[in-house]
A and B are shown apart, each in its own frame.
Chain A
Amino acid sequence: MKPAPFEYYVPRSLDEALALLAEHGYDAKPLAGGQSLVPAMNFRLAQPAVLVDLNNLADLAGIMADGEGGLRIGAMTRQRAVERSPLVAQRAPLLAETLPYIAHPQIRNRGTVGGSLAHNDPAAELPAVALALDARMRVRKQDGERVVAASDFFLGIFTTALEPDELLTEIVFPPLPPRSGVAFEEMARRHGDYALVGCAARVTLAENGKVSDSRLVFFSVGDGPVQAVAAAKTLRGQRPGPAAMRASAEAASQEIDPPSDIHASADFRRHLAQVLARRALTRAVDRASALR
C-alpha cells in the first residue's frame, strides 16, 4: 500500500498551479485534502505522474456572504470550517446539517469542499447537497474562467465537467426562496461511514400552504447525485400531509435504479430511499411551515 512514483509540486499561486496543470494535462492531479486521492494512490488505483498541491493557495479557502442571503465557499475550505461556520448555518442550513455526516472530524479537518465535489464519489453527501441547492461551480484554467451549474457539473461516477487543466475554485450557493425548508437524512452502517442511501430534500410552500416547489436528491443510489424529478413533481400543488409525502417518497424510490453490493441489495436500497425520503420531506415541510 505504497503509491507508485510521482513528481510533486507546491505552487505558490493559483496562476502557477494552473500553469502546471496546463503543462502536465492528464498526467497531473490536483491535491486538496488528500482524503480520497491519497488512499486511491496507496491502493495504486490512481497513479498520477504529477501531483499539484493546492494546500498553499490561501486564496482558495474562505466562506463569504454573497449578496442577499447567498454564500460563496472557496474550493480549498476545509469541511470542518464549513461545519462550524455560523454564516453557513444561517445561509445554507442544509449544508450545515449535512457536514457532520461526512466521515469523522479528523477527516473533515483535512478534507475540502472542492475536493469532495471534484471527486464526485457516488456515495458522497456534498454533490447531492450542491444539486439540491442549485449551487454554481466557479472553474478556472490558465486562460479563462467559467461557471457551471451543479446540474451540469456531475457527469458520472468519479466524473465531473472539469477538464484536466481546470481547477474548481469556488462554489456559490444562491439564497433559498422564501418559505423554503430543507432536510437531510442518511443511513450508514456505522457513525461516519459512507451511506447506504442518503437523501436531501427541499420544499418551498406557496402563501396558501401548498407546495410550490420541491426537490429530492439521493446519493449512493447511482453514479452520482440522483434527482428524483417525477416524485418531486407529484408533491407540487399539493397540501403536504403525511399521505402526500408518503406517495412522493414511494414514487421516488421507484424512480431511482440503485445498485446492489455486499452491504445492501437494490431492493433494500429502494426500501431505504423511500423511508429516508419520507422522513426528509416531513422535516423539510415542518421547517417550511414554520417560516410561513
Chain B
Amino acid sequence: MATRLFGARVKRNEDPVLLTGRAQFVDDVHLAGMLHVAFKRSDYAHARLVSIDISEARAMPGVVAVYTAADLGDYWQPSPLLVPPPPVEGAVFNQRTAGQLARDKVRYVGEPMVMVVAESRYLAEDAVEKVMVDYDPLPAVVDLEAGVADTSSLVHDDLGHNIAAHVVQRKGDYEAARARADVVISRRMHYDRGTAAPMETRGVVAQWDALARSLTVWDSTQAPIPIRNGLAAMLGLAERQVRVIAPFIGGGFGPKIMMFYPEETLIPWAAMRLGRPVKWIEDRQENFVAMTHERGQVHDCEMALTRDGQILGVRDIFFHDTGAYDPYGLTVPLNTQCTLLGPYVVPHYTTEFKAVFTNKTVVTPYRGAGRQHGVFVMERLLDLAARELGLDPLELRRRNFIPPDQFPYNNKIIFQDFTELTYDSGDYEPVLDKARAMIGWEAWQAGEGARLRAEGKTVGIGLVMYVEGTGIGPYEGARVQVEPTGKVNVATGIGTQGQGHFTSFAQIVGEQLGVPMTNIYVSTGDTAQFSWGAGTFASRGAVVAGTAIHHAAVKVRDKARRLAGEALEVAEEDVELVDGFAQVRGAPTRRVALAELARQANPLRGAVRADAEPGLEATAYYGPEMGATAFGAHALILEVDPETFNLRVHKYVVVHDCGRVINPLILDGQVQGGVAQGIGNAFYEQLVYDETGQLQNASFMDYLLPTALDVPRIDIGHEETLSPLNPNGVKGAGEAGAIPVGPLFCQALEDAFQGGGLEILEIPLSPYRLWELVTSA
C-alpha cells in the first residue's frame, strides 16, 4: 500500500517558486508595446462634478489617451449586482452600483473619474496631476446613525434616504422569552472598519490579439471565470474569445472577488480600443481607498437568560455600513445575523439590520465577512451575563451548547446561500475541553494567574467559541487527466491566493490514483484550462472544488482499474493503484503503468468500443445542498503594560474542527494567518475617517498591520467531526482564524484589569483607546 496522501503533513508544492521569487504575479507580465494606466480619483468624499478638464493632461508627453465617463459612451454602465437579496419576507434592498468612471457626482474619496493611458506609469501619474476637476462639495455621510436621520445628506439622491437595505428575521418569540427571563443583558457595541491589505494590490493586464481576435486578461482576481463571462458580454465577444488568467495572487481575502471593479472592465476595453497591451497595477495609496473595505457596524443587542444561565433569547438590532454602493448585496450583514447564534441553543431570536449608504469606500466581504460581528456580540453578551450571574464564563457556554445528537441542526433563519441555516454536524465540548487544557485554564484559575498578579503583572486569560459557515454552493468542477507521460493534470476554475491548492488538491488526486505528489500538476484560475465555476470565497475551495476534484479522480481511478483489469485479465476489484502503476492486489509484480494505460486509451489505429471515451480523463462537478459548518475555540493569555497599555501575548491557542483534514500543515498556516489578521483587527488596524469622509491613515505608516514581530506563535489543536455532506467529510477553514479574535482580546483585557469595572464593547482597540476606557471605568 502506498503512503497515504490525504491527511498527510505534506510540504507545499508551490513554495519553491514562491520563496525564490519565481512565481508569476500580474505585475510580472511584460508585453511588447505595453501601455500603463493611472487614474485620477476623487479627492472629495461627496461632491457634485461641475467640470473635468483633461486638455492639459492629454497634451503631456507620452500620454496616449485620457478618458472620462463621457468618453466611454455605451460602455459606461453600472456594475452588476453580484448577489441578489435573499428570500426573506419583507426584506428591502435598494440596489445602487457604480459605473466605471464617476459622472455628475462622486460618492467616496478614491472613486475613479478619469483614466490616463501613457507610455509609462510615471508619465501617466504626471498627467493625472494635470487633470483639473471642479467640484461642488456636499456634506459627507460618515456616521451610520446620522446617515439615517431625516436631515442627512443623500448619497444617492434618487433614493430619498440612505437606507440600502432593511431586513428582519425572527425565530420564535423573543419578547415573550424576555418577559420570562431572570436576567436581561443589553448593550451597544461598535465594530469599526479595516482593510484586507493583501501583500499584492490589485492589477490587470489586457492584450487584444487582432489576428486571432482574442482577448487575454491577467487579473489579480479570486473569480476568473465570472470575470471572463462578464467581460465577454460587455465587450460583445464570445466567451471562447476571452481568456482570463488569475496567476499567482498575493492574497485575496474577499475584496478581490468584487467583480466587477471599474478597472477590471476598463483596462481590457482600452487594450482593444488602442490595439496595444495595457497594464494597470494598483499602488498602495490607491488600494487603501479603491479596494473594498469591511467591518463597520453598530449593534444594539440584548440577551435574556434564566438564573441558572440558560439562554432564552437574543435580540440584535444593528446598522451596517455598506459604503457608497452595494454591489455585493446583503452577504455581509446576513453572515452577521447567522453567525451570531454560534454553537448555542438560542430558542428565540430577533435580528434586524439596516444597511446604510455612506460616503466611504464600498463594503464587500473580507475574511470573516460579517461573521466577526455576530461572534463579537454573542461572546461579549455571554461574558457580561456570566459576570452578572456569577458563573464561570466557560461553564455558561457549555450549558448552552447544541447537544451532539441534535445534528443536523436547523437554526430557522436564512443564510447567505439562501437556504435555512442548518449546521451539518458538530460536537462542541471536546473542542472547549481541548482549548481549556491547552491554554492551562485550570492551572491559571488554581493560582498561576494570581501568582503573576502578585508579581505585579497585569495579566488576563480568555476563551471564546465560534462557528463558521463554510463550503457553500453553487458548485465547482474539475478535470483530472493522466497523460501518457505518466504526469497527472488537474484543472479547476477557482482562483488561488495562497491557500495551498497546488498541494491539497494534488493530495486528493494522489490519494485516489496512487500517483506521487511530484507528478501531479494542478492548474487553477485559468479559463483556458477549465471553463466552469464561481470562485474562491466563503472558505469553499477545499469543500466544493476539492469534492469535484475527488469525484473526477474517482472516475479516472475506476476507468484505470477497468482497463487494467482487462489488460491483466483480473477482475477490476482486484486492481489497486500504487506509485503510478495499476497492479494486482496480492501480486504486485503483475502490473501495468498508468502511463501505459493512458497510451492504450488513446489508440492511433484500430477499433475501439462504440461508446469509448479516449484517454484516462474525467470531468466532474459538485454542488453542495448547503454549507458545512466548522467550529472552534480560541484562547489567550496576555499581559498589559498598565502604564503604556501596550500588550504582550503570552500564549495563544486555537482548537479547530473543520472535519477531515486534508493537510495539517496547510491548515495550520491558514489558521495562523487568520489569527494574525484577527489580531490586527482587534488591536492594530482601524481605518479612521474624519467628518468630511477623508481617510486619515491611507498608508502603512499609519494603518498598522501587525508584523511578524507582533504576532505570536499560535498553538493549534484539531478535532475532526466529519461533514456528512461530502465524501471526504471536509469543511472549510479559510476564515476561522480571523473570526473570534476581537471578543477574545476584550475578555482577556477585562480579566487583566480585574475589579476595575472595565467593559470593552468595541473593536478595534489601541493603547490610546484602552487608556481612555481604563481611566474612565
Contact = CB atoms under 8 A, between A and B. Distances in A.
Contacts of A43: 285, 699
Nearest to B283: A1
A194 B704 CA distance: 11
Nearest to B702: A262
Interface in B752-777: 766-768, 771-772
Given A1-B283, A262-B688, A262-B697, A189 B766 contact: yes
B710 A191 contact: yes
A265 B776 CA distance: 15
A229 B767 CA distance: 28
Contacts of A262: 688, 696-697, 702
A206 interface: no
B604 interface: no
B418 interface: no
A10 interface: no
Interface in A182-218: 187, 189-194, 196
Interface string A253-271: 0000000001111001001
A2 B768 contact: no
Interface in B275-316: 283-285
Interface in A37-81: 43-44
Contacts of B129: 4, 44
Interface in B6-60: none
B518 interface: no
B558 interface: no
B119 interface: no
Contact of B646 (A5, A187, A265, A271): A187
Contacts of A130: none
A1 B643 CA distance: 39
Contacts of B684: 189-190
B126 interface: yes
B92 to A, nearest CB: 35
Contacts of A194: 701
Q: Helix, strand, loop or mixed for chain A's interface?
A: loop
A275 interface: yes
Contacts of A196: 767-768
Contact of B710 (A3, A4, A190, A265): A190
Contact of B768 (A191, A193, A265, A275): A265
Interface in B210-258: none
Contact of B709 (A4, A192, A271, A272): A192
Contacts of B771: 268, 271
Contacts of A189: 646, 684, 704, 766-767
Given A263-B768, A268-B771, A1 B709 contact: no
Contacts, number: 58
A131 B771 CA distance: 30
A275 B644 CA distance: 8
Given A187-B644, A187-B646, A268-B768, A1 B284 contact: yes
Assign chain A's interface to a size class: 20 to 34
B686 to A, nearest CB: 8
A12 to B, nearest CB: 28
Contact of B285 (A1, A3, A191, A263): A1
A226 B700 CA distance: 26
B125 interface: yes
A187 B640 CA distance: 13
A190 B676 CA distance: 14
Contacts of B766: 189, 263
B767 A2 contact: no
B484 interface: no
B643 A275 contact: yes
B706 interface: yes
B121 interface: yes
B443 to A, nearest CB: 30
Contacts of B696: 262
Contacts of B643: 275
B647 to A, nearest CB: 10
Contacts of A44: 125, 129
Interface string A125-163: 000000000000000000000000000000000000000
A2 to B, nearest CB: 5
A221 to B, nearest CB: 14
A275 to B, nearest CB: 4
B702 A2 contact: no
* Among A187, A192, A265: residue with most chain B CB under 10 A: A187
B707 interface: yes
B407 interface: no
A271 B697 CA distance: 24
Contacts of B710: 190-191
Nearest to B285: A1
A196 B121 CA distance: 35
* Among B129, B284, B643, B768: residue with most chain A CB under 10 A: B768
B50 to A, nearest CB: 25
Contacts of B707: 190-192
Contacts of A187: 644, 646, 767
Given A1-B284, A275-B643, A190 B709 contact: yes
Interface string B95-127: 000000000000000000000000001100110
* Among B284, B684, B706, B771: residue with most chain A CB under 10 A: B771
A263 B702 contact: yes
Contacts of A190: 684, 704, 706-707, 709-710
B768 A264 contact: yes
A194 B700 CA distance: 12
B234 to A, nearest CB: 29
A193 B121 CA distance: 30
B37 to A, nearest CB: 12
Nearest to A4: B126
B764 to A, nearest CB: 12
Contacts of A193: 704
Nearest to A276: B644
Contacts of B697: 262
B768 to A, nearest CB: 5
B777 to A, nearest CB: 15
Contacts of A276: 644
A73 to B, nearest CB: 27
B644 A2 contact: no
Interface in B659-697: 684, 688, 696-697
Contacts of B121: 2
B285 A2 contact: no
A26 B338 CA distance: 62
A44 B283 CA distance: 14
A193 B767 CA distance: 14
Interface string B702-717: 1010110110000000
Given A2-B125, A262-B697, A275-B643, A191 B709 contact: yes
21 contacts: A1-B283, A4-B126, A4-B129, A5-B122, A5-B126, A43-B285, A43-B699, A44-B129, A187-B644, A189-B684, A190-B684, A190-B704, A190-B709, A192-B707, A192-B709, A262-B696, A263-B766, A263-B768, A268-B768, A271-B771, A275-B643
Given A1-B125, A2-B125, A263-B768, 11 more contacts: A2-B121, A2-B122, A3-B122, A4-B129, A5-B126, A44-B125, A187-B767, A189-B646, A190-B704, A191-B707, A264-B767
Q: What are the 3 A-B residue pairs with the smallest beta carbon separation, nearest first?
A: A191-B709, A1-B283, A275-B643
